[in-house]
Structure 1
Amino acid sequence: MSGVVSGFTVIFLVVSLGYLLGRTGSLGEHASSVLARLVFFVCTPALLIHSLATSDLSVVFSATLAIASASALIVGAAYVVIARLWLRRAVPELVIGALSSSYVNSVNLGLPIAIFVLDDASFIAPLLLFQIVFYSPIALTALDLTALDPVAGPGGKRTSTLKTALVPLRNPILIGGVIGLAVSLVGWTPPQSVMEPLNMLGQASVPLALLTFGLTLTGVAVFKKGQSPRRDIALASVMKMVAMPLVAFALAKWAFGLTGHALFAQVVIAALPTAQNVLVYATRYQRGEVLARDSALMTTLVSIPVIALIAATLA
């Protein structure tokens, strides 16, 4: 449990700092959008390139990759179906909601828990690979094509089908993931003069995302009636903290035959809260921002007793 407490302490301290900076106005009125764009266009792509280029992919391709991928896709798809039929949301809001219900906080909380609770940091590597190389590009492609409205160019002029199809390929996160994976697959080690700047920028991704999260809490009432999509948030939170751990448990136990510590690890990974990256994506596309913010906050708070219950039951 000390790892759980330590991981959540890190999150709350950095988010609180962002909130204080927002309250004092130290970074200006546009700080959250500027930081979100910095994370989206610079820091996260650098993190992906460095992380994948230095990873041992033989460790990544394991049962954990299959379970994490399947559980996230199942829960995300279930959210889209339910929210579409029940809440009648547009595609961009469905995408942000699906991410809020299935995209886990694998770095700033996942790594401490993997090290101190699971006693094995390798459980997080497959999750990182799935989310940054496969899941994020799919979601961002959907947002590129639906939230940015690439068909309508400047002055309302329509662009060609080819230009529309190429919009997702200009996404910096997709580009970073592809570059990092390609470098790792060919076995080439870039020079230190290249890797070190990427490492420096990549290390700034998580803290800046947390600061952005804190800044967005300034001057707003969380779950405020009439402004916050409460049903969307409740649905995403329940899917993330209840449905996803149960799906991961079922897959790990009955599809892969895992038991003991291995089974426990898969369920804990699935019970990690929503990543702040989702808020960065929502801010970038200016769709579903309140949903992403409040879902991340709700699942972070709820994940403490949920992970404690999992530990007491399966550890």
Structure 2
Amino acid sequence: MLEILAITTPIFLLIGTGYLAMGARLVNREQLQGVATFVLYFALPALVIRALTQNPLDQVLNTPYLLAYGLGSVAVFAFALMLTVGLQGKPLSEGALHALGMSASNSGFIGYPVAAMVLGVSPAAVIMALNFLIENLLIIPAALILAEAGRQSGRGIGSVARKTLLRLIRNPILAGLATGLLLAVTGTSLPGPLVQMIDMLANAAGPAALFVIGGTLFGLRVRGMLADVGQIVAGKLIFHPLAVLGLFLVMPQADPAMMAGALLFACAPMISVYPLLGHRYGMAGVSAAALMVATLAAFVTLSVAIWGMSQAGLLPSH
């Protein structure tokens, strides 16, 4: 167990550093947003481009992985909608935000740093790129379209979908995915200085992302929202990994390394912009509290998941 804590503790110490930096007023919200912008617009796209260009394309576009992780995420998304809208009678926009919180991992800011320490930088980057495809082209658009449809029920779903997709096209992660895929498909080699710049940006992604997560958590509170917060957190940290595991187990000849990576990413908390989206759809308090609780609880769930996978022989020996 000490070996597991040696992996997870530095990650959460980095998160704690960001939290303490905000608490000690060494940085403010505007400065933290600047670091987050750097990660989102430069470091993570560079990481995706490196993953797509430094690995064989057939390894990157791993169809069994996309099916298992994608279907597992969709299953949790659908379950959350049935639970919140169908059984609990919540509005569609609120149900869509619950579904998003349960099924979309923070792949770039937490999933990748954890997986990089456990599996290695190159496999973690490939899996992150695959997850970005699923999250940015499937889960997030579906949640936003449903949330908009619930909030603006008088407007056609087609108009809502078009506006959502236009907003997603400007997403820097998708720009990185498109650039990396284009370079990989055409076999284009970048000049040496440009490759070095991409490497430097990519290497900064993990630490900077964890620092931002810690700073974002400062000041968040859980007040009178335990039922909704508990439901979202349980869905994200327990049901999502179990659904992904179940799909991998029924997938013929599943790659153990890819399965381990999928579980690590599925065990990560929800996407970091979750509170921002929650604020837009009337769930500011619940979404912020859910992110805080899930991030703290992930220290335990990730440690348990890593221990379980090491016992099952899914992790590489160091």
The whole-number CA distance in structure 2 between the counterparts of 1:89 and 1:298 is 28
Give the unaligned 5+ runs of structure 2: 153-158, 281-286
Q: Kindly tell me: are residues 88 and 235 of structure 1, through their superposed partners in 2, closer, same or farther at Cα, counting changes over 3 Å?
A: same
Question: What is the aligned partner in structure 1 of residue 190 from structure 2?
Answer: 190
Report the TM-score, using the length of structure 2 for normalisation: 0.74
Aligned to 1:167, the other structure's residue is in SS state: helix
1:71 maps to what in 2? 72
- Structure 2 equivalent of residue 156 of structure 1: none
Aligned counterpart, 1:225:
223
Aligned mates of 1:192, 1:108 — CA distance in 2: 26
- What amino acid is aligned across from residue 278 of structure 1 in structure 2? I
- Structure 1 counterpart of 2:116, one-letter code: L
What is the rounded CA distance, in whole Å, between the counterparts of 2:202 and 2:66 in structure 1?
23
Distance 2:91 2:161 in 1: 28
Shift of residue 108, structure 1, vs aligned partner: 0.8
In structure 1, how many angstroms separate the alpha carbons of the residues matched to 2:98 and 2:275? 7
CA distance in 1, matches of 2:195, 2:273: 24
What residue identity is the alignment partner of 1:67? Answer: A
Whether the aligned pair in 1 keeps the contact of 2:48 and 2:177 (CA below 8 Å) is yes
Q: 1:292: which partner in 2?
A: 291
> Which region of structure 1 is more displaced relative to structure 2, 169-178 or 59-68?
59-68
Q: Distance in 2 between matches of 1:205 and 1:121?
A: 14
Match of 2:28 in 1: 28
Tell me by how many angstroms 1:19 deviates.
1.2
Shift of 1:65: 3.9
Matched, 1:253 2:230: no
Note closer, same or farther for the CA distance 1:233–1:273 as it changes in structure 2 (3 Å cut).
farther
Specify whether residues 201 and 268 from structure 1 end up closer, same or farther in structure 2 by C-alpha distance, changes over 3 A only: closer
2:202 paired with 1:206: no
Q: Deviation digits for residues 107-166 of structure 1, max 9, x if unmatched?
A: 111122225xxxx964x45532321223224345457768899xx9xxxxxxx9998353
Cα–Cα, structure 1 residues 257 and 166, in superposed 2: closer, same or farther, change >3 Å? Answer: closer
Whole-angstrom CA distance in 2 between matches of 1:297 and 1:255: 32
Structure 2 distance, partners of 1:92, 1:178, is 31
Letter matched to residue 239 of structure 2: A
Aligned 8 A contact 1:147 1:285 in 2:
no
Q: 1:179 to 1:2 in 2, by over 3 A?
A: farther
Q: Are positions 1:278 and 2:271 aligned together?
A: yes
The one-character-per-residue Cα deviations of 1:63-112 (angstroms, maximum 9, x if unpaired) are 34432232223223322332333372554773475354452543111122
Q: How do residues 1-315 of structure 1 correspond to structure 2 at under 5 angstroms?
A: 4-60=4-60, 61=62, 63-85=64-86, 86=88, 88=90, 91=93, 94-95=96-97, 97-103=99-105, 105-115=110-120, 122=123, 124=124, 127-141=127-141, 164=163, 166-221=166-221, 224-226=222-224, 229-256=225-252, 266=259, 269-270=262-263, 272=265, 274-275=267-268, 278-280=271-273, 282-283=275-276, 286-287=279-280, 288-312=287-311
8 Å contact 1:18–1:211 — kept in the other structure? yes
Identical columns (%): 20
Report how far residue 213 of structure 1 moved: 1.5
Distance 1:94-1:202 versus aligned 2 partners, 3 A rule:
farther
Q: Say if 1:45 and 1:173, in contact at 8 Å, map to a contact too.
A: yes
Judged with a 3 Å threshold, the aligned counterparts in structure 2 of structure 1 residues 244 and 275 are, in CA distance, closer, same or farther, namely: closer
Secondary structure, aligned partner of 2:113: coil
3-state SS of paired residue (2:189):
coil
Query: For 2:82 and 2:246, how far apart are their aligned partners in 1?
Result: 21
Amino acid at match of 1:243: F
The answer for unaligned runs of 5 or more in structure 1 is: 153-159
In the TM superposition, residue 58 of structure 1 has moved relative to its aligned partner by 2.0
C-alpha deviation, 1:16, in angstroms: 1.2
Aligned to 2:155: none
Counterpart Cα distance in 2 of 1:162 and 1:79: 21
Measure, in 2, the Cα distance between the counterparts of 1:148 and 1:37: 25
3-state SS of the aligned residue for 1:204? helix
Residues 69, 273 of structure 1: CA spacing in aligned structure 2 closer, same or farther, 3 A cutoff? closer
C-alpha change, 1:144 and 1:244, in structure 2 (3 Å) is closer
- Output the aligned Cα RMSD: 3.7
C-alpha distance in structure 1 between counterparts of 2:101 and 2:160, whole Å: 27
Q: Counterpart amino acid of 1:292?
A: L
SS state at 1:107 partner: helix
TM-score (norm 1): 0.75
